[in-house]
Amino acid sequence: MAPEADVVVVGAGLAGLTAARRLTQAGASVKVVEARDRVGGRTLNHKLANGNVVEVGGQWVGPTQHRMLALTQEVGVEIYPTYDRGENAFEWNGEMRRYEGAIPKINPAVLLDVLQAQKRLDRMARTVPLDAPWRAPKARQWDNQTVWSWLRRNVASRPAREILTLGCEAVWAAAPGDVSLLHFLFYTHSAGGLDALFDTAGGAQESRFHGGSQLVSLKMAEELDVELDAPVRTIAQDGSGVTVRTERGEFRGRRAIVAIPPMLAGRLVYDPPMPGHRDQLLQRMAQGSVIKCMAVYPEAFWRGDGLSGQATSLEGPVKLTFDNSPPDDSAGVLLGFLEGPQARRLTRLDQAERRRLVIDCFTRFFGPRAAVPEEYVDRSWAEEEYTRGCYGCGVATGGWTEFGDALRAPIGRLGWAGAEYGVVWNGYMDGAVSSGETAAQEALRNL
């Protein structure tokens, strides 16, 4: 069968659409196939009853996420700052405390313990090569232990370990015991440090998208040949090309780019079969567990109380919140995250019970007016058939040192893209965009 396109791209998230866009701009013919009935992958807009748009998927971009910012400007989507004025709230030992800036008012000895651990982790992270984490000077030592193992041995106080555990759950949507220390350090270096991962101003949560983050993908898709509702089941290679078999027929290309989460890529059938070395890696790249929850109010009442809407709690089950109100202030929206162990437990409840637990948290954090929202929405990404977890993946112990060289290596006529393949800002929208650009360049070199 003669190729119908130069490249078939599997997956219409940011990575796949970016790859297809760059290939098309270079003069190649491209067919994009997507399992869902929409584009955008892990970015997804949701229209509230009042007409405002919120994102139930990825939503933020930071100042050093240059590839995503460039793409956003290229397709004509504007950004605006996340609301970050007023005091933050911190739930500590059953008491709500208010504070300004980045440091909560708690025991100075605990804060010093946290700060020393963070500085040490940042120093360690800078020694991890971004393109080859397995070549770090202490790669095997770090890859043979979890983040929890390191915290237990190197952080003196239990409260400090709890705060750092909260940080791990917030970024990786996984418990510290789920993640290899080497992966934690690689990911930290990829972002430029733990502050860049944790912070709002100057960090990964600094800005939001007018019209919602999915709008970037929607605009890219307007110029591309995208087949929706086409789950891929088999990818076959032969001497002249690649055949991608979907529920809507076969698509033939000279090359293919698989731009879906690694764990999902491992569930496809390959002919010839995927090498065991790569498949063993994908078995160790589990997606995180997160439920994104929002309550909608007539106004952002917490602002009048001098609060930013940002709260952290060691009790939970909601341990992190943001003010997610629309830029025109036409409503107040509180955003809360259930992450890691909390998400795993609560995703098995029905939404009504989950709503009760989430609203109870909001009420503790922000007072009785939070108890009566006009609307509630949540999204459990582990339940999404074609995602199976967010935000990205956490590599288990031994994954990087034993199998890491297989992650980005092409297999015959197949290339790979996705947030988990990014070298800079791995796991974020920026990493997805840069991986799509890299995959497009590799495909063009081999056409």
Which tokens hold the place of 188?
């930290």
H or E, element range at 218:
helix 214-221
Which tokens hold the place of 187?
């990911």
Between helices 429-446 and 14-25, what is the axis angle to 10°? 40
In a domain, 172, yes or no: no
pLDDT of residue 34: 98
Residue 102 sits at φ, ψ, to 5 deg, of -95, -10
Q: How much helix, strand and coil, in percent to the nearest 5, is found in the chain? A: 40, 25, 40
Residue by residue, DSSP assigns 183-208 as HHHHHHHHHTSHHHHH-STTSTTSEE
The whole-angstrom separation of Cα 119 and Cα 99 is: 22
Which tokens hold the place of 76?
């004509």
Identify the bridge partners of residue 414 per DSSP, sorted by sequence position. Answer: 256, 411
In a domain, 416, yes or no: yes
Which tokens hold the place of 341?
């162990």
In a domain, 74, yes or no: no
The whole-angstrom separation of Cα 314 and Cα 94 is: 9
pLDDT of residue 102: 78
Single out the residue of 75, 13, 79, 74 nearest to residue 43, CA to CA. 13
pLDDT of residue 95: 93
Mean pLDDT (10-residue bins), the chain, 447 residues: 87 99 98 98 96 97 98 98 97 92 88 97 98 98 98 97 97 97 98 97 98 98 98 97 96 98 97 98 97 98 98 97 96 98 97 98 98 98 97 96 98 98 98 98 97
In a domain, 427, yes or no: yes
| CB crowding 359-368: b at 16 or more within 10 Å, else e | bebbebbbee
3-state SS record for 274-300: CCHHHHHHHCCEEECCEEEEEEEECCC
Residue 298: CB atoms within 10 A of its CB come to 13
Which tokens hold the place of 2?
């003669």
- CATH number of the structural domain spanning residue 251: 3.50.50.60
Single out the residue of 295, 288, 244, 302 nearest to residue 269, CA to CA. 244
In a domain, 35, yes or no: yes
In a domain, 251, yes or no: yes
The whole-angstrom separation of Cα 235 and Cα 248 is: 14
Domain count, the chain: 1
First CA to last CA distance, the chain? 17
In a domain, 155, yes or no: no
In a domain, 370, yes or no: no
Domain residue limits at 244? 5-41+214-274+411-446
Q: Where are the beta strands (DSSP E) in 300-392?
A: 307-313, 320-323, 332-339, 375-380
